[in-house]
Homo-oligomer: A and B are copies of this chain.
Amino acid sequence: MQFKRGFMMKVNDLNMKEIAKLAGVSTATVSRVLNHSGKVKESTRKKIEELIEQTGYRPNVLARELAEKKTNLIGLIVHAMTGEGIPKAVNGLNEQLSENGYSLLIAGSNGIFENEMKQIELFRQKRVEGMVFATRQFTEEHEKIMKKLPFPVVILMQDTDSAGISNAGFDNFQLAKEAASSLLSLGHRRFAYIGGPESSDSAVLRENGVKAALKEYGVYLRPALQKRGSYHIGDGYTLMKQILNEQEKPTAVLAGNDGMAVGAVNCLLQHGYRVPEDVSVMGLDDTDLAQASIIPLSGVQYSYTALGREAANMMIQGIEAGELLYEKRILPHNICIRQSVSSI
C-alpha cells in the first residue's frame, strides 16, 4: 500500500516513464529535455515540455541524486541558533550555497558531543557533500574525527591549525589587541578587562590580545580589574560593580562582547559615573545590542554574514576541486569608536 499516508495520494506521482508514454517517446528523451543534455528535435522537445507543464510532473530529485551519486547537500552543525552571530552566519552560508545549487541541512547539537557524533553519522548516511561545523568547542577529539570524514569540513569561528581541516573566522587575538590599543593610545592606563569564559577558545584569544596590547604599552593589568563572565548583559553589570568596589577605579573598560559592555555602561551610569567622561567603555563586537546602549557604544565591527558566505565558498571550492586544501581564512574587522570612549 503506497497510499497509506494521505498526502501521498495527493502527490503527482507521475514518473518519467509515464510522461514518456504520453509523449510517445522513451524515458531517455524525456530525461534529455529535462537536463538540456543531448540533442532533441525541437518538435518533440516542445511536446514533452508541454506535457510536463500540463501534468505538473516534477522529477524525483532523490532518484536523480541516487543515479548521479550527487546529493547537493551540505550539513551544518551548530550548538543552537542563539546569539546574533550564528544566525547571521547561517544566512550568508545558506544564501551562497543556495545560489550554487546546494541545500543546507541543519542540525543542532546543544554542544553535546554525542549529539554531534549522531548528526555526523546522519550526514554520512545522507551522503552530504560537505559539512560546516560551528560550535563553541573544537577539541582534538573533534579534529581527529573530522579529518577522517569522507567529505570536506569547514570549521566556523574556531581556530585550528590542523592540516586537512579548513576554518574561517575572525582574528580574535588581533581585534582584541587593536581595541585595547585604541583605548591605550587615548591615554588610558587604569585599564579593566571583562572577558569571556575560559572555556571559549575565542575568549582566550581575545584575552591574550588584550594582554599583548597592554604589554606593548607597558601597562600592568591589575588582577582585580580583570574579570570573566559568560557574555551576558547581567555579567557585565555585576562584574563592573565588583570593579567599582576596588580602590583604584579604571578610566577605561573593555568588555569581551557588546552585551557585557552594555551591562557595564548601565552599571556605571546607575552608580553615578559618567560615560565616557569618567570611564570609557568599549566592547569587542558591534551587534544590535550596541545600539541599545544609551551611550553609543564603541566596539569592533565584523560581518558574520560575510563569514558564512566565505565558508560556503570554501566548501564549494573544496567539493568541486575534489579536495579541500588546508586553508585558514580570516575576515576583516574594523575598530569603531563612538561616544562611549574618549581620551583621558
* Contacts from A to B (Cβ < 8 Å): 2, 4-8, 10-12, 58-63, 65-66, 69, 71, 80-82, 86-88, 90-91, 94-95, 98, 103-108, 121-122, 124-127, 129, 150-152, 232-234, 259, 262-263, 265-266, 269-270, 288-289, 291-294, 318-323
The answer to whether A294 and B266 touch across the interface, beta carbons within 8 angstroms, is yes
| CB of A66, distance to nearest CB on chain B (Å) | 5
The answer to whether B321 and A60 touch across the interface, beta carbons within 8 angstroms, is no
Question: How far, in angstroms, from A69 to B66 measured CA to CA in the complex?
Answer: 13
The answer to whether A87 and B81 touch across the interface, beta carbons within 8 angstroms, is yes
Q: Which residues of B contact A294 (CB under 8 A)?
A: 265-266, 269-270, 294
- Chain A at the B interface: mostly helix, strand, loop or mixed? helix
Specify which of B2, B87, B151 is in contact with A86 (CB 8 Å cutoff): B87
- Whether A150 contacts B12 in the complex (CB less than 8 A), given A66-B63, A262-B292, A289-B292, comes out as yes
Specify which of B126, B234, B292, B320 is in contact with A62 (CB 8 Å cutoff): B126
| CB of A33, distance to nearest CB on chain B (Å) | 16
Specify which of B66, B81, B88, B124 is in contact with A66 (CB 8 Å cutoff): B66
Q: Which residues of B contact A293 (CB under 8 A)?
A: 292
Which residue of B is nearest A73, CB measured?
A: B105
The answer to whether A66 and B62 touch across the interface, beta carbons within 8 angstroms, is yes
